[in-house]
Chain A
């Protein structure tokens, strides 16, 4: 539904977006990640047709954004960063205005407004001025605006910014629900959000794609992903360490904490370590108190990829 080919944007000598290519299909929710100033918003502004790319080609539902701006915009719903709105309008007036610009009039317009008001829980503020809304309601009003014409493509720039945890949860589940029918791109700083709502994540840094994959795939790139955290009751750490050292699949063991009767350690495997640990514990009659496989944390992957210092140290 959305294809981006070799998209580039210069602001004077500064390169904001550098040769970006990706595609989003129907049913996909693409999370756009990256540090501040990585080019997320700039890319989204180009896809929605607000900014003109310096080079590259974008098509939305088969329509070239540059050649058929109205056709492509008709199919996109866009929530800009910081949810800009006309401050002197009421929520209802604002939604009505957006509906008319989308070519909805009369009963279709009223139905569309009713639908998005239900979807974004705006009943209580319909007649309130946009100026007096709380941040959460502002965001939801602007989100409602992006959904008013039931678009095939949704571009959301930090849709959960400034929302409280409950609202975040609602917006996330809304995104996940709508993702089945639409192609969605949303940007965020919150990594748990990517895990909660995305089918695929794209990490960009300095205008370039540095990682692309499902949240699970990305998490596996974390340095500690796949390591086993095990808690034993009984033996002291020295005994555990020597016995573990004999296991063929162990690469490295590291003590996390130790109390009188309890040892918690992180074990880096190089093969199928889990059965070996269980067998060892049974043989030595240690009680396994806890056993978890670290899935890896997206935070770690994010930092690893986007921070130049960690990149160098991890490569070394």
Chain B
């Protein structure tokens, strides 16, 4: 546990020792507020909830989460520090978790900085607090799932740009694959189980429930298993570098 924390602390230090963290936080807040107020017309809707806020998160995360996570392993590969890290008395899982948790914590901090919006709805009306908390939880889980994907893609290559692009593509796939236009293209020729699976691994259906304040254990299990699966894949890829 101490070692996981040591690794996480170093990663967090990396974010804040360069402008990356601040640029990221500012861009996230600008985008989130722009979409909420200008595109979704938060005030005109006259409804005391944050649906107009959470609905945009998958699209903001699509680009920003890969940007946060793209260097996690590719930088280690590029600098050769992976050799240093994996000859320390540290298990691969401690290293993977340390890095993942650091970035996830950073995303949590960014998310927490949207609190003025919560204060705004509280001031304007009587929102369902449970629904807002649940929405934040869903958003956090979604960010974690995308982050786990980025962990995997960054373990693949020493090039951060490739890691970023591959990650965006995989995340986009997970966003779109439950969407009717996508399922319609395969429904005519693919077997039913394939169409169901495709629709099932789409993140949007699971995310929708959570942002409306419905806690379904299946949604939680879905996000957590995505995270575990992609972190596991990361460990397999990292092991293959050392084979």
- A residues engaging B (CB < 8 A)? 45, 48-52, 69-70, 73-74, 76, 78, 80, 82, 84-89, 93, 97-98, 100-103, 105, 142, 145
Given A97-B10, A101-B3, do A48 and B242 touch, yes or no (CB 8 Å)?
Answer: no
Q: Is B185 an interface residue (CB 8 A)?
A: no
Q: Place the interface of chain B in its size category.
A: 20 to 34
Known: A88-B14, A93-B13, A97-B9. 4 other contacts (CB 8 A): A49-B86, A52-B243, A74-B89, A98-B84
Contact A86 B88 (CB under 8 A): no
Contact B83 A50 (CB under 8 A): yes
For A89, the chain B residues whose CB sits under 8 A away are: 10, 13-14, 17
For A80, the chain B residues whose CB sits under 8 A away are: 80, 83-84, 87
Residue of A nearest to B98 (CB): A101
Contact B81 A50 (CB under 8 A): no
Contact B88 A101 (CB under 8 A): yes
- B residues engaging A (CB < 8 A)? 2-3, 6-7, 9-10, 13-14, 17-18, 79-81, 83-91, 242-243
Choose from B6, B14, B87 the contact partner of A86 (Cβ within 8 Å): B14
Contact B6 A97 (CB under 8 A): yes
Between A and B, how many residue pairs show CB distances below 8 Å?
Answer: 73
Choose from B79, B86, B90, B91 the contact partner of A85 (Cβ within 8 Å): B79
For B243, the chain A residues whose CB sits under 8 A away are: 51-52
CA distance in complex: A82, B79 (Å)? 10
Contact B80 A78 (CB under 8 A): no
Given A50-B86, A102-B89, do A84 and B79 touch, yes or no (CB 8 Å)?
Answer: yes
For B89, the chain A residues whose CB sits under 8 A away are: 70, 73-74, 101-103
For B91, the chain A residues whose CB sits under 8 A away are: 69-70
CA distance in complex: A74, B88 (Å)? 7
Of A51, A85, A101, chain B has the most CB atoms within 10 Å of the CB of A101
For B81, the chain A residues whose CB sits under 8 A away are: 84-86
Of B7, B89, B91, chain A has the most CB atoms within 10 Å of the CB of B89
Q: 3 nearest interchain CB pairs?
A: A84-B80, A100-B6, A48-B87
Contact A84 B88 (CB under 8 A): no
CA distance in complex: A49, B83 (Å)? 9
For B84, the chain A residues whose CB sits under 8 A away are: 78, 80, 84-85, 98, 142, 145
For A101, the chain B residues whose CB sits under 8 A away are: 3, 6-7, 85, 88-90
Contact A87 B79 (CB under 8 A): yes
Contact B10 A105 (CB under 8 A): no
Contact A51 B10 (CB under 8 A): no
